[in-house]
């Protein structure tokens, strides 16, 4: 397999790279760093500040919230992007479930990429991936709500993050 074929395959298999040319994928991968995570190795911890996003090139990574497995990332999946986009601490812990080869892009590299036309495609792909996750999570919340109501378990109230901000807009 030639390098161009390899990068074309990445463009097809990695949702974040959808619509990119092989040369653009090659540029992204060369800017990033390849990391090998051994089985059981923690890639990042919940609560840590993070400026890297990761793409699984081989292997599997578990995403844990409060020590509970909530997702498995497989080849082509992206994780860690929320902390980079939101500039907030990591909301979960990522641990290799088996030896995994990861592409790591840090915030500086992402900003360099964002100065190119490739940025538009990457951002659209990221929005698409996040909206798919949100749609799935909304479905799960709906199903969980039905179960809670069925068994007469009270639902937690969702409070706005900042009550003062809400009051400013309503008065």
Residue ranges and CATH numbers for the domains of the chain are 3-153 (2.60.120.10)
Residue 4 has pLDDT above 50, yes or no: yes
Q: What are phi and psi of 79, to 5 degrees?
A: -145, 160
Q: What is the pLDDT of residues 83-100, one digit of tens each?
A: 877 778 998 999 999 999
pTM above 0.85? no
- CA 109 to each of CA 33, 89, 104: distance values in angstroms, whole numbers, following the listed order: 10, 19, 10
pLDDT for position 38: 98
Higher pLDDT, 136 or 39: 39
pLDDT for position 158: 59
Residue with tokens 């479930």: 97
Can you tell me whether residue 12 is helix, strand or coil?
helix
User: What residues form DSSP beta bridges with 95?
Assistant: 42, 62
Q: What is the pLDDT of residues 32-50, one digit of tens each?
A: 999 999 999 999 999 999 8
149-161: average pLDDT: 75
**How far is CA 78 from its chain centroid?**
5
47-56, 65-74, 116-125, 135-144: least confidently modelled range = 116-125
Q: What tokens were used for 68?
A: 């509970």
pLDDT for position 167: 47
């Amino acid at each position: 397999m030639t390098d161009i074929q390899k990068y074309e395959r990445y463009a097809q298999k990695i949702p974040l790279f959808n619509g990119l040319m092989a040369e653009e994928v090659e540029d992204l991968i060369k800017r990033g760093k390849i990391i090998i995570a051994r089985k059981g190795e923690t890639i990042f911890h919940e609560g840590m500040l993070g400026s890297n996003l990761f793409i699984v090139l081989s292997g599997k990574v578990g995403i844990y919230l409060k020590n509970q497995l909530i997702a498995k990332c497989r080849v082509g999946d992206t994780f860690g992007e929320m902390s980079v986009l939101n500039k907030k601490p990591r909301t979960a812990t990522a641990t290799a479930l088996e030896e995994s080869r990861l592409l790591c892009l840090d915030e500086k590299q992402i900003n360099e990429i964002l100065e190119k036309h490739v940025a538009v495609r990457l951002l659209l792909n990221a929005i698409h991936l996040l909206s798919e996750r949100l749609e799935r999570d909304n479905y799960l919340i709906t199903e969980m709500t039905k179960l809670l109501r069925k068994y007469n378990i009270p639902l937690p109230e969702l409070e706005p993050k900042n009550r003062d901000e809400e009051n400013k807009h309503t008065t």
